[in-house]
Copies of this chain bind each other. A is one copy, B any other.
Amino acid sequence: MNDVARHAGVGLKTVSRVVNGEPRVSSAMVQRVRQAIEDLGFRRHEGARLLRRGRTACVGLVLEDVADPFSSALTRAVESEAWANGFLLLTGSSGEDAVQERELTLAFCAGRVDGVVVVPAGDDHRYLAPEIEAGVAAVFADRPAGRIEADAVLVDNTGGARLGVGHLLEQGHRRIGHIGDAEGIFTAGERQRGYREALEAAEVPYDPSLVARGPVEQEFIRHALDRMLAGPEPVTAVFTGNNRATVAVIRDLATRERRPALVGFDDFELADMLSPAVTVVAQDAAVLGRTAAQVLFQRLGGDVSSARTIELQTRLIPRGSGEIPA
């Protein structure tokens, strides 16, 4: 910008005025500065501008894994919202690792973003307190913050699970297995709770031996199904707690004779094209992302009301696999 001023033979401030389209500049000046900008191929350095203004016009998004369809749909929504507000988006995947989540988030906060949307991997976010104090806005998505007060946009996991399991109970099932993510993952715990609540509401005894929570690997799924389908009272239906588990169960069932009913939490591409088509409890990642971003921009816009939690509803999509009778 200094170069431009010199080239145009005007003051630095005049260049700044032209570049920022401020009024009260004579057209002769504007002309000269424009020409100089053209000649030198000048483009304003946003980094410097924003340093001076105390803002970055960037927001950060910390995900579990961008490559996951849920995360990428969420990303797309946050991105649109950011762009609409004139912000750019920094993204990073934690790989479901609390340390990586922390490092990424803090790297974003170190003067690179004005706010962050975090899909947390860990359960202790006290490390964010100083950043929030310093003015960084933070919104948690899909899972709540741990040990600090912060805005969160969640899905009604418990209600969704009740919906799915309730649907199986309506078909007459009484022996319903549940396979979900490992202990320590918030959403998985909530969904298991919903599973249990649905059973209890229907006065079906909760049987811990029908629940398997662990790493969603084919091997783990196989053992879980072996167990659930064996014995004198095998399950006649399975409720899976996430779409990787759902797909893994489908793959596994393809190798077996027995065909229990199946309802999965979270929809997935081509669920309707499998046979039987897969009944799911759908959550909307795009709405989740959009809502989280909207809350973030409200905060960045000066909203200082106390932290709030928004819970999004799920919906059941019957397609066939959940309507197999007991």
- Interface on A for B, CB 8 Å cutoff? 41, 43-51, 56, 58, 65-69, 71-73, 75-76, 79, 83, 88-93, 106-112, 130-131, 133-134, 247, 250-251, 254, 268-270, 273-275
Contact = CB atoms under 8 A, between A and B. Distances in A.
Given A46-B111, A108-B88, A67 B72 contact: yes
B58 A67 contact: no
Nearest to A103: B83
Given A72-B72, A79-B66, A83-B92, A47 B51 contact: yes
Nearest to A272: B251
A91 B69 CA distance: 16
Given A67-B73, A270-B269, A93 B112 contact: no
A250 B272 CA distance: 12
Greatest chain B CB density within 10 A among A247, A250, A270 is at: A270
A66 B251 CA distance: 27
A268 B109 CA distance: 36
Q: Which has the most chain B C-beta neighbours within 10 Å: A107, A108, A112?
A: A112
A43 B106 CA distance: 10
Given A49-B111, A58-B90, 18 more contacts: A41-B133, A41-B134, A46-B107, A47-B47, A47-B56, A58-B112, A67-B75, A71-B72, A72-B72, A75-B91, A88-B112, A89-B91, A89-B92, A247-B270, A251-B273, A268-B270, A270-B273, A270-B274
Contacts of A76: 65-67, 93
Most buried by B among A46, A67, A73, A131: A67
A75 B83 CA distance: 18
A278 to B, nearest CB: 10
B92 A90 contact: no
